[in-house]
Structure 1
Amino acid sequence: MKDSHRPDRALTTQNPATEEPLDSYPMMTDAEMHAALEACHAAFTDWRLTSFAERAEVLTAIGAKLRARKEEFAALMTREMGKRLQDSRDEIDLCAAICDWTAKAGPEVLADETRELQDGRKGLITKAPIGVIYGIQPWNFPAYQAVRYAIANLMAGNGVLLKHAEICTGSGLMLRDIFEQAGLPENLFTVMLIDHDQSDELIAHKLVRGVTMTGSAKSGSIIGAKAGEHLKKTVLELGSNDAYLVLEDADVELAVKTCVAGRIYNNGQTCVNAKRFVVTEAVYDAFVEGYVAAMKDVTLGDPMDEDTDLGPMARKDLRETLHDQVEKSVAKGAKIAVGGKMPEGTGYYYPATVLTDVRPGQPAYDEELFGPVASVIRAKDDEDAMRIANDSRFGLGGGIFSRNEARAQDLAKTHFDTGMVFINHFNLATPEMPFGGVKDSGYGREHGGFGMTEFINAKAITLPK
């Protein structure tokens, strides 16, 4: 163990709208990292003995404190990663709702179960916390990504560590302060200011009992393998290329309006953004005409401005990657219907863009475009649209537009190979419903009570006759 090691740089944040530096945070030495882990574990040993009612009371207070500091927190998130101010406010509201729902539902979800065994004995199943859970989280939802796993695990009685994305370090620290101001015991939720090598060491440490990570499929594969080396359970919420089907009987006007919002929400940088638009021949021309016109009207500008529809991307390299995907798609036959040009001037802005003639072999078809670029794909009919939607290595979310809601529901249940399906609307997440995907979009579930039982010990206690 290299106690003297301190990473040779600090964590820094920058405003992507102005390119101006915001703040700098010294990184932990190895000794500081281990001390923080041990302090979190010590806090867990007390927290695990608290009642569900006590935990719920703290979670409810966290929700109230988030609402009380909403404007301050929202402004910080917008400065750090460029999302529209209203989107930042909505994110805080969602986080508070997660606290409220988890506090209310937690005692029932985590309650002991009794079973009558076939031989006449009695069985008791108790859902015991397992220890410190380590979360590695991305930048696109600075509050929500951390709240999503932290609140569920705190309700379950676990301790929580957070390694946040560098660009939203300030948001992670503000979240810690809010948790503690609301009454959460100190050190039970700890922000780890560490580098990748230190993170690997943390995963290996015996006091870390589980790892949850949100990010790209490539990163998830690395983290999953590292945790697997040490027999640590993981929950991975990874990238996606969500398909929204516009079927032959769709309300085209509704589909256009919803698919614009679904593509540009959070500046197009969301795992469950609507990304591929699979449109049947019968309504293709009408959809493309309306969709291109609507995307052309999207206002690109200062995310602090209430009239802005689309703010900057979070980092320069992310914008360059997105533009490269667009150019490679065009080189392989895609056509730019609107947008697709790198803006000049300050800020990491990219315009709302629509690509048509999208086919297999193009990045716009095969890869996740993590920014405000829509891929429109023509399908012969409804059956072909469903085939195209499933023709992806990803499977997080998706959508169906159809006037026949019962048929759309049957398609969603039986044929759509994805973790979540939205019928005739777009949504991010709700506390009551499970969140997660299949295939290269990862495994495990959060929300809906499922997140509270991912990292527990379902302990079987059997009594004699």
Structure 2
Amino acid sequence: MTTYKTVNPADGTTVKEFETLDSAGIERALADAHAGFQTWRKTSPEHRADILHKVADLYVERADELARTISLEMGKPLTESQGEVELSSNIYRYYADNGPRLLEDETLDVPGAEISVLQRKPVGALVGVMPWNFPYYQVARFAGPNLMVGNTILLKHAPNCPQSALLMEEIFRQAGLPEDAYINIFATNEQIADMIADARVQGVSLTGSERAGTSVAETAGRNLKKVVLELGGSDVFILLDSADMDATVESATRARLSNAGQACNAAKRILVAEDVYDEFVAKLVTSFEAVQTGDPLDANTTLGPLSSQTAADTLIEQIDDAVSKGATLLTGGKKIDGPGAYVQPTLLTDVTPDMR
């Protein structure tokens, strides 16, 4: 059973819990999103743009509240949370500024046709399944363009970010978006599968793990639904011997440790030219050991906790597995004493593909 609750990863305390929707609540959400589409699709692009402009403005006006909420729920340092709020506002503003132009009819030159016009039309109610690592940004890049084109949205957020999810819904309504155009749902994975299969839903977008993507793609494919998946990554950071060493060390530290490394595009592996290997590794160890770990709501903190105690336990298991199979632990590798899901910034060398 999926449980929606705010657990502060900095100290492990449960702040607030929320009820998962029952079957009647899911049915109401589906019915409302489907009915809302019939109205929302008929509004002008200019009207939709006005609302998205207000959404962007509200993200600026309520930036402190928004940033503190995600820092509380998933542990991101406040400075990074503030950056995410600003980015999300910019995304909504981009679609507000450019949406009407992008939706204009486009005349095509088709041989043999008297006239040929490309029109961009909404398709209906869409399900969005979004992760906790960038609670506002992930939703903004899905909701912004789809609301602009005239689709309606049923949004399932990650179970550990319920207050962030509710804040986004509140801002949409404060901006004047109809309540049935964007509906937050606290649903189980099983309920989401049923919603994807429902005839009133026309598509689904998921950002998450490969396992989750496989499940969603299977359900969507079986029911011939449109599907967009953005899944995990394994990005490599490559250092050549011509690089500026100090700038590269700073960049590598940020690439690995921003958001506590919890991003699909974070640097997972670092490949270094042999001639500069020793110098780079020594400087990177020094850089990792200088990172300021602490309360994510403290402006001086540069590395917060992981998103949950489970995430911290899993990371420690991965580190221990690597060391047991021959990896060299240069720094870190342990939980930080005290409450919270804190793990020391860790650097391993001599890693092999068979390590977790």
TM-score range (shorter-chain normalised) is over 0.9
Q: Is the aligned partner of 1:313 residue 2:306?
A: yes
Distance between the aligned counterparts of 2:104 and 2:113, measured in 1?
23
Distance between the aligned counterparts of 2:234 and 2:211, measured in 1?
14
Q: Is the aligned partner of 1:201 residue 2:231?
A: no
Distance between the aligned counterparts of 2:225 and 2:75, measured in 1?
35
Distance between the aligned counterparts of 2:263 and 2:112, measured in 1?
51
- Where in structure 2 are the equivalents of 1:222-371 lying within 5 Å? 222-363=215-356
- Residue deviations 1:37-65 (CA, integer Å, cap 9, x gap): 11112222111112221111111110001
Q: Could you tell me which of 24, 30, 33 is aligned with 1:31?
A: 24
Task: Give the CA deviation at 1:246.
Answer: 0.7
Secondary structure, in 3 states, of the residue corresponding to 1:143? helix
Q: Is the aligned partner of 1:98 residue 2:91?
A: yes
Q: What is the percent sequence identity of the aligned residues?
A: 39
The structure with the largest helix share of the pair is 2
Secondary structure, in 3 states, of the residue corresponding to 1:257? helix
Q: What is aligned with 2:80?
A: 87
Q: What is aligned with 1:184?
A: 177
- Unaligned runs of 5+ residues in structure 2 are none
Q: Could you tell me which of 20, 45, 49 is aligned with 2:42?
A: 49
For the aligned residue pairs, the C-alpha RMSD in angstroms reads: 1.3
- Residue deviations 1:10-30 (CA, integer Å, cap 9, x gap): 522211111111111112111
Q: Is the aligned partner of 1:115 residue 2:101?
A: no
- Residue deviations 1:300-354 (CA, integer Å, cap 9, x gap): 1111111111111111111111111111111222111110112232001011111
Would you say the 8 A contact 2:4–2:161 is kept in 1?
no
Distance between the aligned counterparts of 2:31 and 2:263, measured in 1?
34
AA aligned opposite 1:196: N
AA aligned opposite 1:12: K
Q: What is aligned with 1:210?
A: 203
Distance between the aligned counterparts of 1:256 and 1:214, measured in 2?
30
Gap change, CA 1:355 and 1:195, over 3 Å in 2: same
Distance between the aligned counterparts of 1:156 and 1:46, measured in 2?
13
AA aligned opposite 2:47: E
- Residue deviations 1:242-270 (CA, integer Å, cap 9, x gap): 11111121111111001101111112111
Q: What is aligned with 1:221?
A: 214
Q: What is aligned with 1:160?
A: 153
Secondary structure, in 3 states, of the residue corresponding to 1:278? strand
Secondary structure, in 3 states, of the residue corresponding to 1:13? strand
Q: Could you tell me which of 174, 183, 187 is aligned with 2:167?
A: 174
Q: What is aligned with 1:417?
A: none
Give the number of aligned pairs: 356
Q: What is aligned with 2:137?
A: 144
Secondary structure, in 3 states, of the residue corresponding to 2:160? helix
Q: Is the aligned partner of 1:68 residue 2:85?
A: no
Distance between the aligned counterparts of 1:220 and 1:117, measured in 2?
38
Distance between the aligned counterparts of 1:31 and 1:286, measured in 2?
62
AA aligned opposite 1:330: V
Distance between the aligned counterparts of 2:118 and 2:346, measured in 1?
53
Task: Give the CA deviation at 1:120.
Answer: 4.3
AA aligned opposite 2:214: S
AA aligned opposite 1:112: D
- Where in structure 2 are the equivalents of 1:370-409 lying within 5 Å? none
Task: Give the CA deviation at 1:271.
Answer: 1.2
